Structure 1
């Protein structure tokens, strides 16, 4: 019996070693928390702008926004993305150094390529929606393509990210039907879900 248990333990350890060799496992849970906080700050900024300009998103659905308002919203979204990316890079690099892992290697490259291809496609699609003044679909599309990007990248990093991707896709599909709640869905998807996911990953792998 003990011999069988030793064999199972050995097989489990071999599997873990193989998994570490093929996946980027230095992704920090604090990256998710930081991304969520960045999104909440962005959402608060947008909410402030809408209130000060007497814009009710649930009623206009973005159809009557001025060019100035559209530029402001796009700028906030871009700044949130840049801030979240910078913070994710910092926390992930710190976690890699802490565990004596390389920050950049073939695993990192595969993960980023599979992440950014759907993100780039989603970004171009959102630009097309804005060009055609279909602004009420931008938030759902961002959630759906982001969820697809996470699913695509999950093959090369922590498998837990797959569940975040599925939640983002589900939320995006709901928001594409209940379009009046697109802004709320965006805030939940990029804000709250990131914080919950990041905290769970941090306490599971880094504590």
Structure 2
């Protein structure tokens, strides 16, 4: 009986070692929580102070000029993105150090490459939409391509990331059909869902 238990323990340890060598496991649940909080704050500022809430595909901001209004929205989105990325990198570095692992390795490179393609394409498409005045499609496009990036990333990290990606894709499709709820879906996907996901990941893998 004792030998069987030893075999089971050895198999579990081997499986854990193989998973660490083939998966990026330094992603912190707190990164998801903080990204969600940043997104909610950004959506609040966009709606309350910049009067940004597209209710149709071709949308003109009611503030001081379309160009100036879009410039503020782009600046706000950039700040939210940089805060989210910076926090994720900082927390991942700290988690990797605690685990005695290197953050930058072959798996990290593959993860970033698979995420980069849909993110870059989505970002370029968003710029094209802005140039064409199709502002109402910004929220759906960012949700859809971010969801695709997460789904790809799920092959190289926790499987739950793929589920998160599918949720984002679903919200992107819904907000494409119901354009008037685009900002709400964006806040739900990038904000609330991220926070719930981060809490789940923290208590499952980090406590």
TM above 0.5, one fold? Answer: yes
Q: Give the 3 Å change call, closer, same or farther, for CA 62–95 of structure 1 in structure 2.
A: farther
What is the rounded CA distance, in whole Å, between the counterparts of 2:45 and 2:55 in structure 1?
A: 19
Q: Unaligned stretches of 5+ in structure 2?
A: none
Structure (1/2) with the larger helix percentage: 1
> Residue by residue, what CA displacement relative to the aligned partner does 1:52-96 show, whole Å, maximum 9, x if unpaired?
xxx6x3545561221111111111111100110001111111111
- Secondary structure in 2 aligned to 1:104? coil
Matched, 1:188 2:188: yes
- Secondary structure in 1 aligned to 2:159? coil
> Residue by residue, what CA displacement relative to the aligned partner does 1:20-78 show, whole Å, maximum 9, x if unpaired?
10111111101111111111111111122244xxx6x3545561221111111111111
User: Corresponding residue for 2:141?
Assistant: 141
Q: Give the 3 Å change call, closer, same or farther, for CA 144–59 of structure 1 in structure 2.
A: closer
What is the rounded CA distance, in whole Å, between the counterparts of 1:108 and 1:92 in structure 2?
A: 11
What is the rounded CA distance, in whole Å, between the counterparts of 1:19 and 1:60 in structure 2?
A: 46
- Secondary structure in 2 aligned to 1:203? helix
Q: Unaligned stretches of 5+ in structure 1?
A: none
Matched, 1:204 2:200: no
User: Corresponding residue for 2:87?
Assistant: 87
User: Corresponding residue for 1:101?
Assistant: 101
Deviation, structure 1 residue 138: 0.8
- Secondary structure in 2 aligned to 1:158? coil
1:159-174 aligned within 5 A = 159-174=159-174
Deviation, structure 1 residue 12: 3.3
User: Corresponding residue for 1:47?
Assistant: 47
User: Corresponding residue for 2:27?
Assistant: 27
What is the rounded CA distance, in whole Å, between the counterparts of 1:203 and 1:151 in structure 2?
A: 22
Q: TM-score, normalised by structure 2?
A: 0.91
User: Corresponding residue for 2:110?
Assistant: 110
Deviation, structure 1 residue 18: 1.0
